[in-house]
A and B are shown apart, each in its own frame.
Chain A
């Protein structure tokens, strides 16, 4: 390797790179020499950028065939001792080197930017590499491109920019996780990639986009294999902004925007609801309701009530970079906040304060370089529940009847919200809005520090020994108040308030040591070698406590701390049982450790033939002794055909064509600790996943603690392995105006670490085993074009990826990993599973064949020996297809109804620039993803979407939506729940204008003001609020819409200032 990542940074900001001492020296020299050489052929000149005519500082100029040289000063000017007729080479990092024949004593040299990145370097594992020498499948996105998207989470900005990387939101709640799947799901376990920030594993969501220099995604196994056991799901390398030599550069970015729901689900109003309720009754042989006896009924639009209009989002960040010859620095401060569009900032909010300092110092000339990165965040979040059908605050808006009012004076706790406990219509309705505003009283504060210190020693040329010590530290604290409330007969808390407080902290220490050596033989044979070792250790602790009842003077959330509680242990009203109002808990998480050794060997011949091989060995404490070590090899090769002499005829239009092939194995050990062991619970450290075994002997109410084995041991547990073959090409044409990248891959993930269900007789629900495999096959293409027509510059980028996911084997006795039950509505059956021959997490249910239109239709169906699920079938009921024609509808008739992962994902970028205007549109979309929609309990008093108005009401009225009845027999899980989720989203439209050139203030080099719309339009046939649904009950399933917190449409204005 010739590079380390300092070079990459140098390249990035080369335009501003200069050392004042050098300038001073050159300037002095110039002055000193002026008089001396003026007479005998001194050449002077200026180097400017072809693009904008700006002077280029620090450009080196060398007279060919001599060692006479010079460097340009602040104004881009240079003087040189040379004669007319001699040739000079003008070179500058990031620009094409020019050879100029001296024709006069004054020269103006225009340098053009090295437009197509061929000398660009990309970040690879433990180093950097020239892009043109890359043999794996990687993709790089610049931080500027991300910052332009103005998203709170940098991952959201990546959407549509990285073919093969499927990024979807799991919820529109501010601060929610994004689901990132690289090249298809390969596991039922944790499928998220590994994030490495400046060399240390970290959390990308703690970064402000303006802090990011670049993001590199390692997609194929050969690129990722040097990360071994962590890399089965791909690796995302983040480089934060580094300091550069030269005067301090200050930039300030800010935006402010308002967010709104892009589309609402339309639910029945009171009149429609009453009509459907009556019809349900009548269709089921019951009398319609006597509405007059139900008292005063409201007509509430719960959805409209829950949605907050014009929710704010804002971001401010200040960046300063600069440095001297020996020291560089980059620092930033940022503030970012986003208010939730459901309920607003009191119940759904995200707020982040960030600070970052990166410095680097050269000691002992260039022999030793030391540096550090430090990124600190303080994040406050408040959130509503966004989980399954029970833990989902928004779901109430879908299923509570419109007849219940929002406000009333019937609430016993002086609350303005209506309580339906005595409702004459439905005492269980409740008040989703009142409940959300009353019961969401929590604040989660997280402090995260990601820092490292490194030293790089270069004892001899090309040998670099680097040692990095990184720490990823977190501390969190949380407090909440559960107040007294009552909203329905089953939604109340009448006995006491509860205050919870908890805190936790922990750290991961990473020590990485590498040595690399570059060797060139005969200028043609270039070798580079890297060896390294890494050790990782994690520890953490937590404490929690709770108590009852706040003192009356401080009875609100702002005072909800344990010091203000009054709960005391007391005897119950029976005078016998002791009631303990306080709980206290303290936990220590297990020490996790990992130890690794790795190496890489690279070779290229004239940058025409490239070979790379890596090997990594990882040992992990997550496995039992004897199974701790895993070995992960890879090999890759590249051939730059365009460098071959036989391709000489194509140089006019073909700039580069490179073929790449790679193979590698990577691992996954992303499971909890001690999954291999038989753990014994002694009724301490009690949690819902580690329940106590208490038994109350006698009559005192005092529990005796018992012990039992909580997990089934599997000492043979080992790494999950993913093997991937990748074949690809990179090409650029027409003076690098057009570039094309394509990849084909086959990725087989095997020996999954999977929580495999067990027969009940084992005494356990499941255990962790290795087994099963899944194959992902796919194609990725990316096309970019950029050019200009006079002052009008434009670029177009299109990318797309196709992925096919097929499970090959499941390690259970029936070959199926079953989905959970009760997930769509109460008592719902399993509706998703993993099974051989199907995509991971496919939807499993009945196929329907329309609606029985009349008795003749039913008779014909029966005559054809088809089974019928409805015991008393009537016209208007659903025809469930009897797949095996055995005359009964049962689980044997359930089939694959598609799955939530898209088969095709695509994205595009369009950018225009005209003088000081800039305009861009970004879009992303997906095809082939299915969505399961379930908003309530069909057949009961739950509300319906207005889709039900198109139900069957008589012969010929509908062949899709069945008649309504008081049971849900027509709503057994079938394709009626499954909707196509194809969409195209215009994720960002921006228009900006740079005033810097108008105001002509020297201090200001950029003053761009812009307006932007995020999530501007979504083209989809899906009738829910958002077709991009990462949620899926479990993380290997997506596309389950149980009342989804949608992503907002944001309209914002912002400014970018550079000084």
Chain B
């Protein structure tokens, strides 16, 4: 009996002990290799890091069907191109004609998503910024320079992304704080007003000395007051040109003053030699003196010394890329430049790619004699003896010309082995991943030409600065038409022409594009490219809203006209 009692006691104790071991704290767990938002957005360092996240968000917009390709393919500079057997999505954008590829309903889904992801990062930081308690220097109502600088940079990036979206799609949902709501499209004016307010804030609050050009080696790519003033001018010109209205709440003199401020800062200047702005135009294949390769041939290398480099004097603002991309979560590369390379083979210094944006011969032929910009901008396959080894049969809409300014680059043939010739992308040299060419959004030449267009008293001088650098003779007076032509040559293949066309009026844009009709070769066979003015006008020059997003909104989003 005693033993029985003992058993009961043991059992009771065990039961109590075993059954009371679990408490709620047992269930509380925190991630070990990530943070959660409750313990972030607290300090200045957090804010700076989140700001870099916004820049990165903007960087991510270069994949999918990015605005650069939209502008080039849709303009009169380039055709769609790509592989002979590829789908006709690029042709659909080139002609602004849904019939080119009826099943393509989501060409822009990745683009659309990447922009709103970037905008979310900006909105999120802007919302969290007032709650950041720990600033390195004392924060008070007057002296919160760092906070305002961060806010200014963030709002610039947001404005930049909205400007891209509104130019591509016109009717877009507009949100200035994070939201999961199903948001209908805003009017273009509403969107432009947010863009203008953001850029004015950036111009007013980013200190002029925040990122001096002298330290471009470490700060190139940062948003400066000058970048904000320059972008504001571009926004103003596009809006007032395309919509023929001047109701943005910012005046033309204010815009011009901003540009004059950029010029007066003396931070920027034109480079003496136009071609040094571009890698493929300035790189050359040179012989290594006295060095022989296997087989006794002279050894060759890619001489890059004439390239002016990233962040040179002429760069007002650039979208930066790095060669560190991989398939494991690093996406820092230029997402579209691979589309620009010639298909199938490296032709050092030009690297291979997917053959998009074949150049319209009309543009090549339009350059005045002696204009140095022509050879710096265009690869001439015949003139440069590439055509004989280029596989025309694999190319759609082959014209004999392709883009040089933004061509990937490649190392020359080594050891006489053509196959081992590799891309010159840095990093892992994966031609699809590691492209690190920056996209220069705003060059100083654009500041000069915009200021001239806006009626600067120094208009002729500004114009001539650009004009004479190209090897042409100075002029005594300039008209708007002169400036438009100059812009066409100066900014060819920089993703600018299409918007310049649109802001000259939809009719003019449609007619100009239609006039660029051409007979080309697709798969080696003659292919007549024609444009239907009514189709271009039907879309008003804007792109197709991704069908997936319309579906996800349950019909709250409305598809653009003509699509």
Evaluate contact between A592 and B34: CB separation under 8 angstroms.
Answer: no
Q: From residue 14 to 38 of chain B, which have CB atoms closer than 8 A to chain A?
A: 14-15, 18-19, 21-24, 26-37
Given contacts A460-B7, A588-B32, A625-B28, contact A695 B52 (CB under 8 A): yes
Which residues of chain A have C-beta atoms less than 8 A from B222's C-beta? 697
Which residues of chain A have C-beta atoms less than 8 A from B182's C-beta? 759, 813
Given contacts A511-B21, A699-B216, A699-B310, contact A691 B52 (CB under 8 A): no
Which residues of chain B have C-beta atoms less than 8 A from A644's C-beta? none
Evaluate contact between A700 and B217: CB separation under 8 angstroms.
Answer: yes
Q: State the CA gap A902–B435 with chains docked (Å).
A: 48
Q: State the CA gap A460–B5 with chains docked (Å).
A: 9
Pick the contact of B329: A457, A680, A692, A830 (CB < 8 A): A692
Pick the contact of A703: B113, B173, B322, B345 (CB < 8 A): B322
Which residues of chain A have C-beta atoms less than 8 A from B310's C-beta? 698-699
Evaluate contact between A695 and B59: CB separation under 8 angstroms.
Answer: yes
Evaluate contact between B324 and A694: CB separation under 8 angstroms.
Answer: yes
Q: From residue 407 to 466 of chain A, which have CB atoms closer than 8 A to chain B?
A: 412, 421, 427, 457, 459-460, 463, 465
> For the complex, is A1034 an interface residue (Cβ under 8 Å from B)?
no
Pick the contact of B15: A465, A758, A762, A816 (CB < 8 A): A465
**Chain B 43-55 near chain A by CB (<8 Å), digits 1 or 0:** 0001001111111
Which residues of chain A have C-beta atoms less than 8 A from B175's C-beta? 761
Q: State the CA gap A815–B553 with chains docked (Å).
A: 10
Evaluate contact between B552 and A814: CB separation under 8 angstroms.
Answer: yes
Question: Which of A72-80, A572-580, A780-788 binds B?
Answer: A572-580
Query: Chain A's nearest CB lies how many Å from the CB of B429?
Result: 5
Which residues of chain B have C-beta atoms less than 8 A from A427's C-beta? 344, 391, 394
> For the complex, is B417 an interface residue (Cβ under 8 Å from A)?
yes
> For the complex, is A712 an interface residue (Cβ under 8 Å from B)?
yes
**Closest A residue, CB atoms, query B183:** A761
Given contacts A495-B428, A687-B329, contact A706 B49 (CB under 8 A): yes
> For the complex, is A765 an interface residue (Cβ under 8 Å from B)?
yes
Q: State the CA gap A489–B418 with chains docked (Å).
A: 12
Evaluate contact between B179 and A709: CB separation under 8 angstroms.
Answer: no
> For the complex, is B330 an interface residue (Cβ under 8 Å from A)?
yes
Pick the contact of A707: B21, B24, B40, B328 (CB < 8 A): B40
Which residues of chain A have C-beta atoms less than 8 A from B116's C-beta? 760-763
Evaluate contact between A688 and B426: CB separation under 8 angstroms.
Answer: no
Which residues of chain A have C-beta atoms less than 8 A from B179's C-beta? 761-762
Given contacts A427-B344, A457-B10, contact A688 B327 (CB under 8 A): yes
Evaluate contact between B14 and A758: CB separation under 8 angstroms.
Answer: no
Pick the contact of A463: B11, B19, B124, B321 (CB < 8 A): B11
Evaluate contact between A762 and B180: CB separation under 8 angstroms.
Answer: yes
Which residues of chain B have C-beta atoms less than 8 A from A494's C-beta? 419-420, 422, 429
Which residues of chain B have C-beta atoms less than 8 A from A593's C-beta? 26-27, 29
Pick the contact of B332: A460, A579, A703, A764 (CB < 8 A): A703
Which residues of chain A have C-beta atoms less than 8 A from B549's C-beta? 759-760
**Chain A 581-597 near chain B by CB (<8 Å), digits 1 or 0:** 00000011111111111
Query: Chain A's nearest CB lies how many Å from the CB of B455?
Result: 35
> For the complex, is B441 an interface residue (Cβ under 8 Å from A)?
no
Given contacts A701-B322, A706-B56, contact A759 B18 (CB under 8 A): no
Q: State the CA gap A707–B102 with chains docked (Å).
A: 40
Evaluate contact between A286 and B525: CB separation under 8 angstroms.
Answer: yes
Which residues of chain B have C-beta atoms less than 8 A from A708's C-beta? 50, 53-54, 56-57, 121, 124
Given contacts A533-B22, A708-B53, contact A813 B554 (CB under 8 A): yes
Given contacts A465-B15, A680-B34, A760-B113, contact A691 B329 (CB under 8 A): yes
Q: State the CA gap A513–B15 with chains docked (Å).
A: 8
Evaluate contact between A693 and B552: CB separation under 8 angstroms.
Answer: no
> For the complex, is B547 an interface residue (Cβ under 8 Å from A)?
yes
Question: Which of B104-112, B235-243, B286-294, B489-497 binds A?
Answer: B104-112
Pick the contact of B180: A495, A679, A758 (CB < 8 A): A758
Query: Chain A's nearest CB lies how many Å from the CB of B221?
Result: 5
Given contacts A459-B10, A595-B22, contact A286 B523 (CB under 8 A): yes
> For the complex, is A565 an interface residue (Cβ under 8 Å from B)?
no
> For the complex, is B89 an interface residue (Cβ under 8 Å from A)?
yes
Interface centre among B35, B121, B175 (most CB of A within 10 A): B35
> For the complex, is A818 an interface residue (Cβ under 8 Å from B)?
yes
Q: From residue 810 to 839 of chain A, which have CB atoms closer than 8 A to chain B?
A: 812-816, 818, 821, 826-827, 829-830
Which residues of chain B have C-beta atoms less than 8 A from A710's C-beta? 34
Evaluate contact between A759 and B552: CB separation under 8 angstroms.
Answer: yes
Which residues of chain B have C-beta atoms less than 8 A from A813's C-beta? 182, 552-554, 556
Which residues of chain B have C-beta atoms less than 8 A from A699's C-beta? 216-217, 220, 309-311
Given contacts A620-B27, A709-B37, contact A703 B324 (CB under 8 A): yes
Evaluate contact between B10 and A966: CB separation under 8 angstroms.
Answer: no
> For the complex, is B193 an interface residue (Cβ under 8 Å from A)?
no
Q: From residue 106 to 148 of chain B, which have CB atoms closer than 8 A to chain A?
A: 106, 109, 112-113, 115-117, 119-121, 123-124
Which residues of chain A have C-beta atoms less than 8 A from B427's C-beta? 577, 579
> For the complex, is A116 an interface residue (Cβ under 8 Å from B)?
no
> For the complex, is B436 an interface residue (Cβ under 8 Å from A)?
yes
Query: Chain B's nearest CB lies how many Å from the CB of A676?
Result: 10
Q: State the CA gap A800–B114 with chains docked (Å).
A: 49
**Closest B residue, CB atoms, query A619:** B27
Which residues of chain B have C-beta atoms less than 8 A from A695's C-beta? 52, 55-56, 59, 221, 320, 332
Evaluate contact between B36 and A679: CB separation under 8 angstroms.
Answer: yes
Evaluate contact between A489 and B345: CB separation under 8 angstroms.
Answer: yes
Evaluate contact between B14 and A701: CB separation under 8 angstroms.
Answer: no
> For the complex, is A869 an interface residue (Cβ under 8 Å from B)?
yes
Sample (5) of A-B pairs whose CB atoms are under 8 Å apart = A495-B429, A579-B426, A628-B27, A816-B551, A869-B103
Residues of A within 8 A of B (CB): 286-287, 367, 412, 421, 427, 457, 459-460, 463, 465, 467, 486, 489, 494-496, 511, 513, 515, 531, 533, 535, 537, 572-574, 577, 579, 587-597, 619-621, 625, 628, 673-674, 677-682, 684-701, 703-710, 712-713, 757-765, 767, 812-816, 818, 821, 826-827, 829-830, 869, 871, 891, 939-941, 966-967, 969, 972
